[in-house]
Structure 1
Amino acid sequence: MTQSARDDLDFRALMDDVRPLGRARNRADPGRAARGPSEAQLARRESAAAEPQGRDFLSDDFVDLLPPFDPLEFRRDGIQQGVVDRLRHGGYAAQAHLHLLRRPLEECRRALPPFIREARDHDLRSVLIIHGRGREIDSAPNVLRSYLAKWLAQFEEVQAFVSAGQADGGLGATWVMLRKSERARSANRERQQKRRG
C-alpha cells in the first residue's frame, strides 16, 4: 500500500462519524438579528460616542520605539520623493510651530489634533513640530518621537512628514506637510486658469 493510500484511509477513519449539517441548522442563529444589539454592544456604542474629540484614533497604546538616531520619514502614495526631500531640507517655510518639548505624553496627544485641524482650517501646508530627541531608546523625548510618528500617520490631512535638517532642529523636530484644503485647491485652479488666459 502506498503512502497516499494510507493517508486516504487514515483520513476516512478520522472523518467516519462526521455528518453534514441539515438545511435548517446550517446558518448562524437567524433570530439574533431580529433581537437587536446586545447590552454589551449598546454599552460599547455609548462609550464610543462619549469619547472626547481627538481621542478617536490617537491612542497611547503600545508603540514600537524608534532608534534615537534614525530619522523619521513618511509619505502617502502619490507624494513625490522630491517633495519629501525639499521638506526635509526646509524648502518650505514653517507656517506654524508646535512645541512639545518636555511635555507629558498625554498633553502632547491632546495638543496634536487641534493643532493639525487648525493648520488645515487656515490653509497651512507645512508646519514644524518640535519634540526633542533623547540619546537612549527609552528616554522620554524618544518615546514621544515614536508616538508622534504613529499619530501623524493616522491623520488624513498629513501627506508627509520627515525629521528636520540640522538648521531646523535635526532629529528633535519633524516637518509635516498637510493636504491642501478644497479652498486652496480652487484658488490654485483659478490662478492657473488666469495664467493660461
Structure 2
Amino acid sequence: MTQSAHDDKDFRALMGDVKPLRRSVNRADPGSRRSPPTEAQLARRESAQADLGQDSFLSDDFVELLPPFDPIEFRRDGIQQGVVDRLRHGGYAAQSRLHLLRRPLAECRRALPPFIHEAYAHDLRSVLIVHGRGSEIDSPANVLRSYLVKWLAQFDQVQAYVSAQQADGGLGATWVMLRKSERAKADNRERQQKRRG
C-alpha cells in the first residue's frame, strides 16, 4: 500500500461518522437566513462601537474663541517650562504632521483622534498640527484653532502644546508633545540599566 493510499484510509477512518451539514443550516452559506441578534450580541456591538467612538468627547459645542494674534500654550502638571520652550522653538523634530488647513470643522474633529492615537502608538513624541490662522476672531481658521486648543487638552496622551515659531507656521501651526508610551519607558529603563552595567 502506498503512503497516499494509507493516509487516505486513515483519514476515512477518522471521519467515518461525520455527516455534512444540511445546506439550509450552513452558516458559511451567504444565502442562509440570519436570525436577529440577541440582547448579548447587541450589547457587545454597542460596547465595541463605544470603544471605537471613545473620542466622541471631542464636541463641536460652544467654544470661547481665541484672539487671532495670541499665541497658545498648555502644559500638564509636572512638565517643565524648559521642555515647553524647547518645543516652541522647534527644538524637537516634527516626527509627524497633520494638515487641517481649510478643512471643515467636522472633518478636523474626525481626523484628530486617529492622528494622536497613531502617533502615540508609534512612540512619536513631537508632532506638528497645521491649522491656519485668520485675521478675524470668527474666521474659520481661528474657530478651528480655538477648538483645537479645547480638544488637545482632552487627550491623556498630550503633555503640552504651543504655537509654532514663524519658520514652522507661526500662529497657524501648533507643536504637540506626546507622553512616552509604556513600551518607550520600558525601552528607556533597559538602556539605562545597560549603561550602568
TM bucket (normalised to shorter chain) is: 0.7 to 0.9
List aligned pairs for 1:112-131, cutoff 5 A.
112-131=112-131
Query: Deviations along 1:65-88, whole A, 9 cap, x unmatched?
Result: 000000010000000000000000
TM-score by length of 1: 0.74
List aligned pairs for 1:137-156, cutoff 5 A.
137-156=137-156
Which one is further off, 76-85 or 50-59?
50-59
Q: Any conservation in 2 of the 1:54–1:110 contact (CA below 8 Å)?
A: no
TM-score by length of 2: 0.74
Q: How far apart in 2 are the matches of 1:116 and 1:104?
A: 19
The residue type equivalent to 2:169 in the other structure is G
For structure 2, which runs of at least 5 residues remain unmatched after alignment? 1-45
Runs of 4+ deviating beyond 4 Å: 48-52
In the TM superposition, residue 116 of structure 1 has moved relative to its aligned partner by 0.3
Q: How far apart in 2 are the matches of 1:168 and 1:53?
A: 32
In the TM superposition, residue 54 of structure 1 has moved relative to its aligned partner by 4.7
How many residue pairs match? The answer is: 151
Q: Any conservation in 2 of the 1:75–1:159 contact (CA below 8 Å)?
A: yes
In the TM superposition, residue 153 of structure 1 has moved relative to its aligned partner by 0.2
List aligned pairs for 1:33-182, cutoff 5 A.
53-182=53-182
Query: Deviations along 1:130-152, whole A, 9 cap, x unmatched?
Result: 00000000000000000000000
Q: How far apart in 2 are the matches of 1:196 and 1:64?
A: 51
In the TM superposition, residue 56 of structure 1 has moved relative to its aligned partner by 2.4
Q: How far apart in 1 are the matches of 2:87 and 2:58?
A: 24
The residue type equivalent to 1:111 in the other structure is A
Q: How far apart in 2 are the matches of 1:54 and 1:134?
A: 31
- C-alpha spacing 1:54/1:110, structure 2 compared with 1 (3 Å): farther
Residue matched to 1:28: none
For structure 1, which runs of at least 5 residues remain unmatched after alignment? 1-47
In the TM superposition, residue 163 of structure 1 has moved relative to its aligned partner by 0.3
Q: Any conservation in 2 of the 1:54–1:113 contact (CA below 8 Å)?
A: no
The residue type equivalent to 1:90 in the other structure is G
In the TM superposition, residue 55 of structure 1 has moved relative to its aligned partner by 4.3
Q: CA RMSD in A?
A: 1.5
Secondary structure of the structure 2 residue equivalent to 1:118: helix
